[in-house]
Amino acid sequence: SQTIHQWPATLVQPVGSPLSLECTVEGTSNPNLYWYRQAAGRGLQLLFYSVGIGQISSEVPQNLSASRPQDRQFILSSKKLLLSDSGFYLCAWSGVAGGRTDTQYFGPGTRLTVL
């Protein structure tokens, strides 16, 4: 069966510090991968998605970046965090878009607080 891991679970970082959040998927090959951000009490904002190694699409211009160095690894980074980067970061994977396997499966999330 497939599983998705995210770490860390919680993170408190000062403004201006770097960020690296990691997401890994097990039990599937060539998944579509997604990074979402959710502000407190709000909806899901799609940040990045990837259909393959090294292929990243950005949805929202900001000071965040994403990379996919391996098939089942997705990393969210920032060189300098802003207060507005605080939120709940969710990684998700899915099968081929439009196919029967396009359900998105979410990881447990990372709760980031920037002070």
Partner 1 sequence: GQQVMQIPQYQHVQEGEDFTTYCNSSTTLSNIQWYKQRPGGHPVFLIQLVKSGEVKKQKRLTFQFGEAKKNSSLHITATQTTDVGTYFCAGRWGAQKLVFGQGTRLTINP
Q: Is 56 in the site for partner 1 (CB under 8 A)?
A: no
Cβ atoms 115, 86 nearer than 8 A: no
CB of residue 16 vs partner 1: minimum separation in angstroms?
A: 28
Q: Where are the alpha helices (DSSP H) in 1-115?
A: none
Which residue from 78, 109, 112, 114 is in contact with partner 1, where contact means CB under 8 A?
109
- All residues at 6 or more sequence positions from 37 whose CB lies less than 8 Å from its CB, including other chains: 44, 45, 47, 87, 88, 89, 90
Name the residue nearer to partner 1 (CB basis): 9 or 14: 9
For residues 14 and 100, which CB has a smaller minimum distance to partner 1 in the complex? 100
List of residues contacting partner 1 (CB under 8 A): 32, 34, 41-44, 46, 49, 90, 94, 97-98, 102-109
